Amino acid sequence: MIAETASIFKKGDMILKPHSDLSVKNKKINLIGLSRSELEAVVLSLGLKKFRAKQIWHWIYHRGARDFDEMTSLGKQTRAELQVKCELIRPKVVREQLSKDATRKWLLNPPGGGEIETVFIPEEDRGALCISSQVGCALSCKFCHTGTQPLIRNLVPADIVGQMLIARDTYREWPSSQGRKLLSNIVMMGMGEPLLNFENIKKALHIIMDPEGIAVSKRRITLSTAGYVPLMKRCGDEIGVNLAVSLHAVRDDIRDEIVPLNRKFPIKELLNACRSYPGAHNARRITFEYVMLKDVNDSEADAKELCRLISGIPAKVNLIPFNSWPGAPFECSSEKSIQKFANVVNNAGYSSPVRRPRGRDILAACGQLKSDTIRKKLR
């Protein structure tokens, strides 16, 4: 873990080690989630030629193979040997729910243990997979259901890539070279704060972006952060994906309350980091997410201040009607005030779509995700 993140954690956060980190004698190696060079190292250690790694990579990430037996370019003996020493572990699907608007939510038990949720939001001819980055979350944003759950652990690359594999399996979108896909985009907007699990997210996204595998382009991936300023530049430089920032308030006193991370990295610092985000330009704008909370942050004066704050940043503003959850201490702004807010932002020259809530009936909308076992316990 990156040392500077330590001060973010709250009482009750556990930070367990993923199962895969525990050294168990004679344990098979899960090939899913290894970088290309790690996969090569494993292949060499088994006495196989280096080019076998490229073939295996192709089978796992291009063809979606779930078993070594499917890897017919490998020769029977090689496959048998792989079977003994290695494995291909995907997350287990604990439950799958389909909303009446076709949003799909999986409750998964990832290889590293615990429970996470992954959501697919289909549009007519494309769709976004919303991937989780941690089991639970350390940030405690007041309007977010996941934030009421302690952080249990960081997801490892096998857990993160595994969410994509499950979705591709479900929609039968293998091989990767198949033309237009429903699973076209990825948003790192599920449970957890991706920049507080930077190395694992980086490694996983590089696997997902690899052109000889899953091959989702960085232009189709958006990482959302609550504003962990110290790693924003590295996110742009080393991962290169689109950035979304959960701004949600235009004054520090309010943002301190609803996004407590603001006490460490206040609005001014956050916006400076946005101004210098590598690769931000007009064709590649930063998305500011803004949850609409009745009488908290939704006045026209707030909208004007928002425009003043972000002026000069190539940006768009995504207004998110607050999605309620049991015991939530807020109400959603009225449609009228959301529209007024949007008009002010729009008139200032920023695109300001209102995010249509999806999957509310199965608690799959923004900020409604939470591990099911914990939900039940609280009940």
Does position 40 interact with ligand SAH (CB under 6 A)? The reply is no
Among candidate residues 115, 117, 193, 289, the one labeled active-site is: 117
Residue 322, interface with ligand SAH (CB under 6 A)? yes
Six token digits for residue 143: 């309007």
**According to CB under 6 A, which residues from 199 to 218 bind ligand SAH?**
none
| Region from 16-24, 52-60, 85-93, 140-148 binding ligand SAH, contact rule CB under 6 A | 140-148
* Choice among 137, 141, 235, 366 that is catalytic: 366
CA–CA dist 130, 149 (Å, integer): 19
103 binds ligand SAH (CB under 6 A): no
User: What CA–CA distance (Å, rounded) separates 344 from 180?
Assistant: 37
Interface residue with ligand SAH among 208, 250, 273, 291 (CB under 6 A) is 291
Q: What token pair was written down for 42?
A: 């494993």
Q: Which is nearer to ligand SAH, 149 or 224 (by Cβ)?
A: 224
Is 235 annotated in the active site?
no
- The reply on whether position 289 binds ligand SAH by CB under 6 A is yes
User: Is 226 one of the binding residues for ligand SAH (CB under 6 A)?
Assistant: yes
> Does residue 274 belong to the site contacting ligand SAH (CB under 6 A)?
no
Which part of the chain contacts ligand SAH (CB under 6 A), choosing from 73-81, 95-103, 155-163, 219-227? 219-227
CB of 149 to ligand SAH, least distance (A): 12
Q: Give the number of residues written for the chain.
A: 379
Among 331, 313, 314, 310, smallest CA distance to 322 is for 331
Instruction: Examine residue 341 and tell whether it contacts ligand SAH (CB under 6 A).
Output: no
User: Annotated catalytic, 366?
Assistant: yes
Query: Is residue 323 near ligand SAH by the rule CB under 6 A?
Result: yes
Output phi, psi for 121, to 5 deg: -115, 100
User: Phi, psi (5° rounding) for residue 25?
Assistant: -60, 140
Residue whose C-alpha is closest to residue 113's, from 249, 14, 180:
14
Is the CB of 64 or the CB of 227 nearer to ligand SAH?
227
Q: Which is nearer to ligand SAH, 115 or 193 (CB)?
A: 193
Segment near ligand SAH (CB under 6 A), from 3-11, 51-59, 163-171, 317-325? 317-325
With binding defined as CB under 6 A, does residue 306 bind ligand SAH?
no
Q: Could you give the CA distance from residue 360 to residue 379 in angstroms, rounded to a whole number?
A: 19
Q: How far apart are CB 366 and ligand SAH at their closest, in Å?
A: 3
Place of tokens 């999806």: 358
Binding to ligand SAH, residues 180-199 (CB under 6 A): 189, 193
> CA dihedral in degrees (63, 67, 72, 73; nearest 10)?
70
CA-based nearest residue to 84, from 122, 40, 42: 42
Q: Which residues of 107-122 are buried (b: 16+ CB within 10 A; e: fewer)?
A: bbebbbbbbbbbbbbb
Q: Which amino acid is at 372?
A: D
Kindly tell me which of 78 and 224 has the beta carbon lying closer to ligand SAH.
Answer: 224
Residue among 174, 187, 62, 217 nearest 118 (CA): 187
241 binds ligand SAH (CB under 6 A): no
Do 211 and 246 meet the contact criterion of CB atoms below 8 Å apart? no
Does residue 138 belong to the site contacting ligand SAH (CB under 6 A)?
A: no
**Gap between the Cα atoms of 152 and 3, Å rounded:** 17
Q: How far apart are CA 346 and CA 354, in angstroms?
A: 11
| Residue 246 lies near ligand SAH (rule: CB under 6 A) | yes
Kindly state whether residue 367 participates in binding ligand SAH, applying the rule CB under 6 A.
yes
Total residues at interface with ligand SAH (CB under 6 A): 16
Q: What 3-state DSSP class applies to 14? A: coil
Residues that bind ligand SAH (CB under 6 A): 141, 143-144, 189, 193, 224-226, 246, 289, 291, 320, 322-323, 366-367
Report the catalytic residues: 117, 366
